[in-house]
Chain A
């Protein structure tokens, strides 16, 4: 029973909320996300005994598969996980079903309703359904309409819709999409997913801020001089060129994931831990945020695109050489920008946000840099005193570190910076669940806390509207700076901070 892998005293201590009997319907079940993320997340929930015994997963796509074919495909995709626990898979696989459905064909959706009723009888799922739209964004509106027209969203307590990112392409399209989905169901039935919010460490930002008294008093413009939010990837565009060409880093990462990290870092404390209270505060802070120079966004934003790189033995192709990418593409694979938040807490504090593909390291982090001590009493080993920094590491090596000055050993009074570290791994020794595990469970529990509300999504798009318009209307004003693969992005991004006398953190 005692193993070094798990803490035997920890087992069963988390009192998870109970998911009500239900059927999860995934549209786009033949797609990548279903077998890479969704079904593995559900299998994980099953293994953790967090799915009710009355549960069914109905995969829907246009392909004319049968239940058995779908089960076979999923088994193939999850083979390494299944090998770890074949008995659990044998039980789980019986809960998987498949129905060929084209959401554009009303007769298909009507047939789907019939199949769901059969599943209700077969699996006792009590007409309780979560519909997951893992389809092309072009079909979000029509998909919702089709479900609504078929009466499948009629009961707000027993039906909900999960919508993947991107929710719209800009402020106008997000507004239009919100209007459509809100005519199909109530806001509390709509779950706009951002898998970053499912990450333990993103949620930990809230716990760190609001469960401790030491941080909140200094979490403001009086003590913090700047904030950096980074999400860097080492991989290139891989097989997503088709999608990426039309989105770019700004739409793919900044408008959703980085903006959510910004909102959680900068929001005011909610009055209670309640979905609406939290989402109100997030929406408020996003409404107060703006680009540092909205009239001339090129002064506060840098776009880049990765070029070739790597080594002689392991050469890396540049973005324009990737399969499926236009040879003269101007899609950005890197973006860095400076934002301000006009409220009492953050007035004048710059928020620097950057993301990119093929950068030097894969990581996501939030770095809060504190103001320098008003008087420098000591000689600093590094030449000048280092500002205190609180680094919240989202991934990998999840945790936090606090950098502060201490006396350097020796007879003098020289100061030097050291890092005080907290690592999830060292403290808990248990891997965190994937974001989708948490978010799928929350959606099925009808808990919208970690999902974005209509006004949040719109505020996030509005924040970047000047940039999007500039890229659309006069892209030459925001040129693409090439950068070598596996470096920290273009020199222009360094210059953006250098103008403020700062440097990007080199983690």
Chain B
């Protein structure tokens, strides 16, 4: 399904009038004509779409600007990597790509529809209010405030009268900071508010602190931004008690599931008490996902961290098991020709178990996007080998976010809460 536009052309209002306008829109007197406001949730999205804005401005991508991760946008990003002579293993929407396209000449314009495109996966959940913060590449641009009411179409599960509205705050940095004053009254306390930080975790820290306050449920992607900062933000937020959801953690699901499946048969479980080595290969330079996987395994198996160090693309760590035996963990970034749009996706992992008495076990899991010959080498022939292929997730960020919203969890997943601080510690 393609994204859908609001049915109504958004109305541009003076920022101070927005809360009153929306209050009136959903007042009991008005409900007869517009339907009932859904009692669901509010979603506040930080939607910078820097790569898309610069690619459109430089004429590398046709508009309109939507903030969606389309195949055209990804293709334009890959093209820019070639043009800017960046390493081919650079993810197509990476910070380095944005820096490169920001330097390109051009003043092409296109309609900016950020916040007005509603992904069907999200609209199916009938959000009461979608508020999009859409910073522009022109820092001096003034604040524009757009408002539109929205009712799901019958094929989206509409037909009921539960409706919502969208609010877009668009402008340069300073203008958006000014616009923050209208946010509070737009987020009713009677329903949960989710904040989706759909940008770099190391940008606009003040704004992030302001919109993603502890009482709101936060969605971030620890694969977007400088790795140390990503894991640090994740750790801080988790430890503050905020409900945090990490899309990078969500994408780990198939790895965690496949590894758990290997040890589902009861006769294999004992091997988990005898792990001696864990190797993880990730794409390129972003180790966050690999570290989260290592931290999850360590937590589940009760390992204690002794030491860790990171040099370039390699992280090595020593743990000890509950029985005192040492476990070596090694994470390495490997260059790939056609990197995933999400930085640092896991390429493969190897878990070696060496029981004192009995045959050792070696588990090798490989992403279906490529081989993992490096992990398959190294004299594993004497071990009982279990190999499996892990399907790479192709869900768009909107679909992942919809999955989180649909789950309705109001607290951080305890497994993530346990893994995030350890992953941050591994990167030191």
Which of A1-53 touch B at CB < 8 Å?
Answer: 1-4, 7-13, 15, 17-18, 20
Give the distance to chain B from A463, nearest Cβ to Cβ, in Å: 33
CA distance A55 to B410 in the complex (A): 15
A2 touches B260 (CB 8 A): no
CA distance A12 to B300 in the complex (A): 10
CA distance A8 to B273 in the complex (A): 10
Q: For residue B266, which residues in chain A have a CB less than 8 angstroms away from its CB?
A: 4, 426, 429
CA distance A9 to B272 in the complex (A): 9
**A411 on interface, CB distance cutoff 8 Å:** no
Q: For residue A426, which residues in chain B have a CB less than 8 angstroms away from its CB?
A: 265-266
**A427 on interface, CB distance cutoff 8 Å:** yes
**Count of chain A residues with Cβ under 8 Å from any Cβ of B?**
19
**Count of chain B residues with Cβ under 8 Å from any Cβ of A?**
25
B260 touches A9 (CB 8 A): yes
B300 touches A8 (CB 8 A): yes
Give the distance to chain A from B263, nearest Cβ to Cβ, in Å: 5
**A215 on interface, CB distance cutoff 8 Å:** no
**A428 on interface, CB distance cutoff 8 Å:** yes
**B413 on interface, CB distance cutoff 8 Å:** yes
Give the distance to chain B from A259, nearest Cβ to Cβ, in Å: 30
CA distance A171 to B47 in the complex (A): 58
CA distance A1 to B323 in the complex (A): 11
Partner of A8, one of B253, B301, B413, B414: B301
- A2-B273, A11-B300, A13-B256 in contact; A18/B410 too (CB < 8 A)? yes
- A2-B269, A2-B301, A18-B410 in contact; A12/B415 too (CB < 8 A)? yes
- A1-B300, A12-B413, A12-B414 in contact; A7/B263 too (CB < 8 A)? yes
CA distance A427 to B413 in the complex (A): 26
Interface 0/1 of B238-270, CB less than 8 Å to A: 000000000000000100110110011110011
Interface 0/1 of A423-440, CB less than 8 Å to B: 000111100000000000
B269 touches A4 (CB 8 A): yes
Q: Name the prevailing secondary structure of the B interface residues.
A: helix
A2 touches B407 (CB 8 A): no
Partner of B301, one of A1, A4, A10, A429: A1
**B188 on interface, CB distance cutoff 8 Å:** no
B265 touches A429 (CB 8 A): yes
A9 touches B259 (CB 8 A): yes
**B158 on interface, CB distance cutoff 8 Å:** no
Q: For residue A18, which residues in chain B have a CB less than 8 angstroms away from its CB?
A: 407-410
Q: For residue A13, which residues in chain B have a CB less than 8 angstroms away from its CB?
A: 253, 256-257, 260
Partner of A9, one of B265, B300, B409, B414: B300
Q: Give the residue name and chain of the A residue nearest to B257 (CB).
A: A13
CA distance A12 to B415 in the complex (A): 7
16 A-B pairs besides A9-B272, A12-B413, A13-B257 with CB distance below 8 A are A1-B302, A4-B266, A7-B263, A7-B264, A7-B272, A8-B300, A8-B302, A9-B260, A9-B297, A10-B260, A10-B264, A12-B415, A15-B407, A17-B407, A18-B407, A429-B269
Residues of B with Cβ closer than 8 Å to A? 253, 256-257, 259-260, 263-266, 269-270, 272-273, 297, 300-302, 322, 407-410, 413-415
4 closest cross-chain pairs (CB), A and B: A1-B302, A429-B266, A9-B260, A18-B408
